[in-house]
Amino acid sequence: MTNDKIIVPLDVPDLASAIALVDKLPQVTFWKVGLELFTSTGPGILDVLKSRQKRIFLDLKFHDIPNTVAGACRAAAGYGVDLLTIHATCGKDCLTAAAEAVQVGAEKAGTKPPNLIAITVLTSISTRDLAFDLKIPLELPEFALEMALLAKNAGLNGAVCSPQEVTQLRESCGKDFLLVCPGVRPSWAEKGDQKRSLTPSQAIQAGADFLVIGRPITAASDPQLAWQQIVEELNSVR
């Protein structure tokens, strides 16, 4: 189903606001819980979403030494979420430890392991930022590809990337490697702080599996209408 490809972020500060947003958009089947909300509410929001049969993208972007990240992934796997993120830049040893840890954590909790996906390059970072601020000598698409391949070789299930990198990553990483794209903006929406964006239909045609679309829906004057417009746009993709 088309709407299963859209993940809507619960980028709100507290549990009451999160529940209100979920109630406002009952058609949404896949929600993202990020750092702000999880830090505020803990796993309580995950229980709410699971009680409503929603899929969950737990986007905590772990980045630390291998032992610490493995412990965090082992614990997070017990929540029974669908997607979990880790920064590819934490390195191969860390990625490998994390991939093993989610299996152990899920088995201990008696639940299905989450798909562990790597952050390649944040979509708020531009080519200039990568070169001048982070001092990385590679072109941005090349660096994103290297991070995705590192994650795949370490046993991860997929990567988070800009829509503009999807075609290259799909060709290099194969059809079974999940590609999750934030920074997706309908043509009628403002780009905000997303510097490497495509429209929803362009991203799907490029090879994305899931689209993370927040403010064009949640900040719209009529969120349900905005949601429906995006679903209709994706339904037109052949």
* Strand residue runs (E) in 176-219: 178-181, 210-212
Asked if pLDDT for residue 190 goes beyond 70, the answer is no
Tens of pLDDT, residues 2-32: 688 999 999 999 999 999 999 999 999 999 9
Tens of pLDDT, residues 29-86: 999 999 999 999 999 999 999 999 999 999 999 999 999 999 999 999 999 999 999 9
Does residue 108 carry a catalytic annotation?
no
192 burial (CB, 10 Å; 0-12 / 13-18 / 19+) is middle
Residue 194's pLDDT is 46
Q: Are 216 and 199 in contact (CB under 8 A)?
A: no
2-235 CATH fold: TIM Barrel (3.20.20)
167, 224, 190: which is closest to 28 by C-alpha? Answer: 224
- Can you tell me the distance from the alpha carbon of 150 to that of 230, in angstroms, rounded to the nearest whole number? 33
- Can you tell me the distance from the alpha carbon of 172 to that of 181, in angstroms, rounded to the nearest whole number? 17
Tens of pLDDT, residues 120-163: 999 889 899 999 999 999 999 999 999 999 999 999 999 999 88
DSSP assignment letter at 114: P
Domain ranges for the chain: 2-235
Percent of the chain at pLDDT > 90 equals 85
The residue annotated as part of the active site, out of 5, 50, 61, 191, is 61
Residue 187's pLDDT is 80
Q: How does the average pLDDT of the chain come out, rounded?
A: 93
DSSP assignment letter at 80: -
Residue 238's pLDDT is 61
